[in-house]
Structure 1
Amino acid sequence: MSDSEDRMMAVVTTGNGGYEKLVYSSVPKPVPGPNEVLLRVLAAGVNNTDINTRLGWYSSSVTTDTSATANTQEVQAQQKADGGWNGATPFPLIQGTDCCGMVVQVGDNVTQDLMNQRVLVRACMRPNGYDVMDMVWMASNFDGAFAEYVKVPATEIFPVSCDWSDEELATVPCAYGTAENMLHRAGVAVGDLVLVTGASGGVGSAAVQLAKRRGAKVVAITSRGKMDQLRELGADVVIERDEDLVMRLGESSIDVVVDNVAGPKFAQMLKVLRRGGRYVSSGAIAGPVVSLDMRDMYLKDISLIGCTAWDAPVFPNLVSYIESNEIRPLVAKVFPLQQIAQAQQEFMEKAHFGNFVLIPAQSVDL
């Protein structure tokens, strides 16, 4: 194999900090080991997880929302021992949690039948089994999809038979996986009234679709300019994010709150939950430190459900929904991989509806 065949272009994140930590460069091409496959990356999604990991936002020392943290980090970068999902992030690291790829090489013990199949990667992996909560994340614990090639365990790839484009499939893993996992854990079912915060974002818009698919009624919170798009997506009621939830919905009116926003409205979310209601979250983009009146929780028998590790049925179910045309992708904009800083800057402006996607140079005519 020639030197050029041994290498690939990738975005390497060199440490916690700002956009200057994203370095587009030539790096060694990964080689699959036993029980692994090598994928040619067709498209990679942009999401909060990759930005938060770069910023070290998961550290307990961070108390501001993602946007405020990003602005601070641009001025002063500081390595954080607890800045990743499971402690320190192993920089330098190729990020990229969302991957649609093509199998181009298989390692020992992997069937050749996978060759040349288009697949999605289950980014949240639970190597010790689903009866424990241990997990590893692609692009947090090992190299991800912001590259021309990525190697992953063969158990974590899922062939998908559909007419979606590569870019459309790349919107699915993190956003839809996170949303489906929250609905699964909260037991959302036919007839539930579900409140979805941040409903125009990747996870929020996925949660609206997936809750409707389960037969629930959806109340969606968003900015004024995106309300019509959420109605078209299926939301039954759309609320502007500055509205008082208690005044608009009334106390004890909601069965399930699906919240990746948190911040100042957290207390209102517990007020609108009915007795025995469920609050489920896997994020806190408006601020991780919230005001909790314990009486709103225990006097109403509310369940607070934290979600990070995906349960076993989640990703196979998503693939079946795609193949049955039960959900649809929302691609807001596509960028070449080397424009990752621009893509993340626009992503942080939160003016888009749906998901941003990056395309490696070998997959697009630039």
Structure 2
Amino acid sequence: MKAFVLEDGKQNIKEMDNPIAGEGQVVVSLRAAGLNRRDLYIPNRRGDNKKALILGSDGSGVVESIGERVTNFKVGDEVIINPALRWYETTDAPPKQFDILGMPDHGTFAEKIVISEEQLEPKPDYLSWEEAGVLALSALTGYRALVTKGQIKKEDTVFIPGAGSGVATYLIQFAKNIGAKVIVTSRSKEKQENAKKLGADIVLDTNSDWNQQLADETIDLVIDSVGGSTFNRSLEVVKKGGRIVTFGSTTEDDIQFNLRKFFYGQYQLFGSTMGSRQELREVLEHMEKYKMHPVVDRSFSLYEAQDALDYLNEGNQFGKIALKISQ
């Protein structure tokens, strides 16, 4: 089978052995896969391992074969891949055995994947292959940050710095479906307009004075995935006693803030990452209820995987980037 791999520090299309389903495993013929920023970081995080690794965490496809003792899926079923490995029930933090698909396990940038049936969910019928293929990682990350950790409620106001990321496009839709008011920021005029179309109530230029612009707003919750360049600015606008959830850092990791001001303001700070299978199933129920669609900015073929990663690295997309593998 064809796969896009990282091998000896280089990324390229390679012919790999067809996977075989073992006990409790399923081989999925992939129709689409989704890119995530972690795919950009893996080459620098893998160390000296030179063995070919298939990249990719998200995917959708059709069950091609099943191993012994597989009970929940049959050949021909349409499925999505859950990239949060071995995290089944919702807990305060991931279990020790938790990993994310795509390193060290082979990922989804390939024609086929073998994976435990525990990591599969039925594909929502109303979604295209590309929509289903970009769904799990970002939607799950956003849902846990917003709902499980952020405890968002109807009529809350949520502030989301950075409107164009894949997770942000899910956050906007989840929050609006729940009945919250949504405020986002972006430096890009195009992304600002796209965020409005998606449902954001207020859209700010990232470089504007947030304190001045939001003087008449009461921010209950901040969901921050940007990091050092926005954290303190977000802390300035959230209400006293308000909640901040952080799940990413696209700028510097190290942050200094006024600890005395923080504890006098009784702020609540939560870290979050990915989510459990239980939460992913809640995501799918929510999306089905509201017939919610992932935002796919652009699709590439598997053979254009490097071009897709380069496009992701530029940061100009609004929403998710998909790989079309077969239809």
TM-score, normalised relative to structure 1? 0.82
CA deviation after TM superposition for structure 1 residue 55, in Å? 3.2
1:339 counterpart letter in structure 2: E
Residue 61 of structure 1 corresponds to none
Greater shift in the superposed pair: 126-135 or 217-226: 126-135
Q: Partners of 2:238 and 2:28 in 1: how far apart?
A: 44
Q: Partners of 2:202 and 2:237 in 1: how far apart?
A: 15
Residue 161 of structure 2 corresponds to 197
Match of 2:64 among 83, 104, 107: 104
Residue 124 of structure 2 corresponds to 161
2:94 counterpart letter in structure 1: M
Deviations 1:236-283 (A, max 9, x none): 100111112222213983111111111322111111111221111111
Match of 1:329 among 294, 302, 317: 294
Structure 1 unaligned runs (5+)?
1-7, 57-78, 82-88
Match of 2:94 among 133, 139, 144: 133
Contact 1:37 1:153 in 2 (8 A): yes
Contact 2:163 2:191 in 1 (8 A): no
Q: Partners of 1:312 and 1:162 in 2: how far apart?
A: 19
Where relative contact order (Cα < 8 A, 6+ residues apart) is larger, the structure is 2
Superposed, 1:1-366 pairs within 5 Å as 8-14=1-7, 21-56=10-45, 80=47, 92-111=52-71, 113-127=73-87, 130-131=90-91, 133-134=94-95, 135-184=98-147, 185-222=149-186, 223-250=188-215, 253-360=218-325, 363=326
1:147 counterpart letter in structure 2: A
Alignment size in residue pairs: 322
Equivalent residue of 1:271, what SS?
A: helix
Deviations 1:156-214 (A, max 9, x none): 11112322210111121111111111012110111111011221210111111111111
CA deviation after TM superposition for structure 1 residue 217, in Å? 0.6
Deviations 1:116-143 (A, max 9, x none): 1111111112358544622121112311
CA deviation after TM superposition for structure 1 residue 155, in Å? 1.2
Q: Partners of 1:80 and 1:51 in 2: how far apart?
A: 14
The percentage of counterpart residues that share the same residue type is 26
Equivalent residue of 1:151, what SS?
A: strand
Equivalent residue of 2:243, what SS?
A: strand
TM-score, normalised relative to structure 2? 0.92
